[in-house]
Amino acid sequence: MNFVDIHSHILPKIDDGPPSLDIVLQMLRLAYRTGTRAMVATPHMFLPPFNNNDLAEIKHAFAETVQELGRWQSEPGWSFLRDMSLYLGAENYLSPEFLEALEHGRVLSVNQSFYLLVEFSEFLSFEMLISAVERILATGRVPILAHVERYPPFRESPRMLEHLCEMGCVAQLNGASVLRTKGRAQRKIALSFLRQGLVQVIASDAHEHRIRTPVLDQVFAALKKTFSEPDVIAWMFENPRRILANQSLI
Ligand SMILES: [Fe+2]
């Protein structure tokens, strides 16, 4: 089994992810060595500091990165890049600019599927969040709520997350949150969400190769100690694979 990572920042110089192609290469090597064979590049879009609101620019940056990596495939020690599939998506920040782009069909879903990765301000009211989710669902897309364990409102009231899942959202958890290195509180809430059946997919949300890394094998090993193997396989293999293939989740 190979990991499919549906949330990662692997395009250089576009957001708070890798500052250079060299770091992208280090990230891909680390991901490959730890069992990942497919990654979705999900740069921040509609998030104010990065000003990435243009679909064409993001597509161009992705094509350019893929082309540069293609050149590296023939370099000694980098032939593994041939076995690493890269796809395009975006981490869409729920903002007025995003909602306008959504109306005009100018948003990037995961590998052109109906799954749309979204993030939002922790200060966004629940009513506003519900309204944005309704608007996404009305376009026939399925919101994937990124790193659900990071939002204080969900931590305080998991019922809010449950309600969003009942509406049709998919909840994504960052793998590293279940590791001891991320701190006790984060780990506790991540495990609690998993136990309550509030999470459908786990991804890395990698930003670089040292701290916020694309390593998923340690997460898989840690989860297998606590949860049933079919559950862990659903979160880390089956559902990510289905999202990429535009299929319903299990
Ligand atoms: Fe992210």
- Report CA(230)–ligand 1 centroid distance (Å): 26
CA of 41 relative to ligand 1 center, distance in Å: 10
Ramachandran region of residue 75, left (φ > 0), alpha (ψ -120 to 50) or beta?
Answer: beta
Q: What is the pLDDT of residues 169-221, one digit of tens each?
A: 999 999 999 998 878 999 999 999 999 999 999 999 999 999 999 999 999 99
pLDDT confidence of residue 180 = 83
Return d(Cα 61, Cα 52) in angstroms, integer.
11
d(CA 13, CA 106): 22
- Cα(91) to centroid(ligand 1), Å: 6
Question: What is the predicted pLDDT for the residue at 192?
Answer: 97
Q: How far is the CA of 15 from the centre of ligand 1 (A)?
A: 10
Instruction: Read off the pLDDT of residues 175-184 as tens digits, 9 standing for 90 and up.
Output: 999 998 878 9
User: Is residue 61 within 8 Å of residue 14, measured between CB atoms?
Assistant: yes
Residue 164 burial (10 A CB sphere; 0-12, 13-18, 19+) = buried
- Bridge-based pairing of strands 142-145 and 91-93 is unpaired
As residues whose CB is below 5 A from the ion ligand 1, the structure lists 91, 205
Per residue in 125-139, pLDDT (tens digit) is: 999 999 999 999 999
Instruction: Using DSSP, state whether 229 is helix, strand or coil.
Output: helix
Set out the domains of the chain in order of their start, with CATH numbers.
Answer: 3-244 (3.20.20.140)
pLDDT digits (tens, 9 = 90+) for 46-58: 999 998 999 999 9
The pLDDT of 110-134, averaged and rounded, is 97
